[in-house]
Amino acid sequence: MSRQPIARSPDLRRLQNEGYDLEILGGLLLIRDIPYVNASAAVERGTLVMKLNLAGDVVGKPPDHTAHWIGAHPCHASGAKISSIENPSGPADLGNGIRANFMFSAKADYRDYHHKVTTYVGRIAGEAAKVDPTATAMTFPPIATNEKDSVFKYADTASSRAGIDAINAKLVGQKIGIIGSGGTGAYVLDLVAKTLVAEIHIFDGDTFLNHNAFRAPGAPSLERLREKPQKVDYLGDIYDKMRNGIFRHDTYIDALNAQLLDGFDFVFVCMDRGASKRIVVQRLVANGIPFIEVGMGIINSDGQLGGIARVVCSIPETRQEAEAHISYAEDDGGANEYATNIQIAELNALNAAMAVIRWKQHFGIYQDHRGNFYQGYSIASGEVIGEGIR
């Protein structure tokens, strides 16, 4: 079953975005899970079936005013049959394994399929809502995708509902590297995994342990922690459920394998080992690869936490300016302004969100009036300070 007619037809897409359970089989549109009242005045669920007016992979105006129905005959809230939509036609074999129990006729000059579907649903499900106010045909079912070129294993209805598919498409085909999948790197992965990039490569040679669970997305079970999975495997297993193109590299980057960084469109550097970070940065700069380096300096002062979460954006236009802000201190401490490596989930998540927003600005998804090569969030003041080239 191809979903292209739904994706490319505004009326069907609108129905899907509103939460209707749509399926296309052959030349038929099925609207499943519609609540209706049976003769006993109880609420059940049925399926509407309509002929599609297909022109290639786009639908036109409905060819007629009829619809088929799979289920018992819909009734009013009292249990009396809804006679206004009755048609003398009996059960019918519609092909593709679809057998309808009734044909209905609600006469109108339907503008499109949204108009037709909502008219029928209003007459049928409206009676069900009188019996059960929670009964609705807008169930927002999970939508599998079988499009060969999709990176996702189910449809991204959030973008379609917001009408920003064309904007998000600016990331299509990108190959992204995430170096380090600790607290901030794990949240970067979480956010990048929900975009249309083609490949996401995660690099980390460490094990996922108890302390990682308290500063990473999600909630691992005690049993999973006891297995002591590698970080890239723990995270890869999560996001493989959602999308294709997750590549796991159970290794640290050093001088012997730095060539693994070649060929990326963008890289997120989320490391706390200064010497290794310097190797990564030098390789990315030498190959002209844009990247973002993240880090936090958090201190415990008189029983309260303070400090800064930073994002440094290094692109060919900002190499020199960015370099001055990159920390090569071990554990982001020592030679850094702060001497500890305190990390807390909300700060990791914030640091990752800042980085991903800056990445999306670079590729034209978000507006960017400053071209920031540095941003720092101060916990104490709540201010975000930026330095840009514009």
Looking at the fold, whether 247 and 370 belong to one and the same domain comes out as yes
Yes or no: say if 232 and 204 are a contact pair by the CB < 8 Å rule. yes
Does 91 reside within a domain?
yes
Q: Give the pLDDT confidence score for residue 103 in this predicted structure.
A: 94
Residue 305 forms part of a structural domain: yes
Domain final residue, candidates 131, 149, 179: 131
**Stretch 186-204: mean pLDDT:** 97
Range of the domain at 80: 4-131
Mean pLDDT of 174-190: 95
Same domain assignment for residues 127 and 201: no
Q: How confident is the model at residue 2 (pLDDT cuts 50, 70, 90)?
A: low
For range 61-75, the mean pLDDT? 95
What percent of the chain is predicted at pLDDT more than 90?
74
Let me know if residue 159 belongs to a domain.
no
Q: What is the pLDDT of residue 161?
A: 67
- Residues 6+ positions from 71 with CB-CB distance below 8 Å: 36, 44, 45, 46, 47, 101
**Per-residue model confidence as pLDDT tens digits over 246-263:** 999 999 999 999 999 999
> Residue 73 gets which letter from DSSP?
P
Q: Is residue 324 part of a domain?
A: yes
- Summarize the confidence of residues 29-35 as an average pLDDT: 96
Q: Average pLDDT, stretch 209-224?
A: 92
- Comparing 50-59, 175-184, 335-344, the range with the smallest average pLDDT is 335-344
148 domain residue, yes or no? no
In this predicted structure, the answer to whether residue 189 has a pLDDT above a threshold of 90 is yes
**Is 259 domain-assigned?**
yes
| Residues 340, 231 share a domain | yes
Classify residue 154: in a domain, yes or no.
no
Rounded to the nearest integer, the mean pLDDT of the chain is 91
Pairwise pLDDT comparison (183 vs 289), residue with the higher score: 289
Distance CA 196, CA 174 (A): 8
> What is the structure's pLDDT at 4?
72
Contact in structure between 108 and 85 (CB atoms under 8 Å) = no
- 26 and 169 in a single domain? The answer is no
**Are 112 and 180 members of one domain?**
no
8 Å CB contact between 271 and 180 = yes
> Is 253:291 a contact under the CB 8 Å cutoff?
no
Q: Work out the average pLDDT over 378-383.
A: 95
Residue 282 belongs to some domain of the structure:
yes
User: Is pLDDT of 231 > 90?
Assistant: yes
Asked which of 131, 147, 175 is the last residue of a domain, the reply is 131
Q: Are residues 121 and 260 both part of a single domain?
A: no
- Identify whether residues 48 and 121 lie together within a single domain: yes
Residues 108, 183 share a domain? no
Least confident of 125-129, 154-158, 254-258, 294-298: 154-158
Same domain, yes or no: 79 and 207? no
Checking if the pLDDT of 341 tops 70, the result is no
Order of strands, sheet of 43-51, starting from the edge strand that comes earlier in the sequence: 21-25, 28-37, 43-51, 66-70, 102-105
Number of domains in the chain: 2
81-131 pLDDT, tens per residue? 999 998 888 899 988 889 999 999 999 999 999 999 999 999 999 999 999
How large is the average pLDDT for residues 343-354?
A: 93
Report the pLDDT averaged over residues 262-288: 95
Check residue 34 and give its pLDDT. 97
Q: Which CATH number do you get for residue 168?
A: 3.40.50.720
The reply to whether 243 and 374 lie within a common domain is: yes
Beta bridge partner(s), residue 86: 104
Instruction: Kindly state whether residues 86 and 176 are assigned to the same domain.
Output: no
171 with 311, same domain: the answer is yes
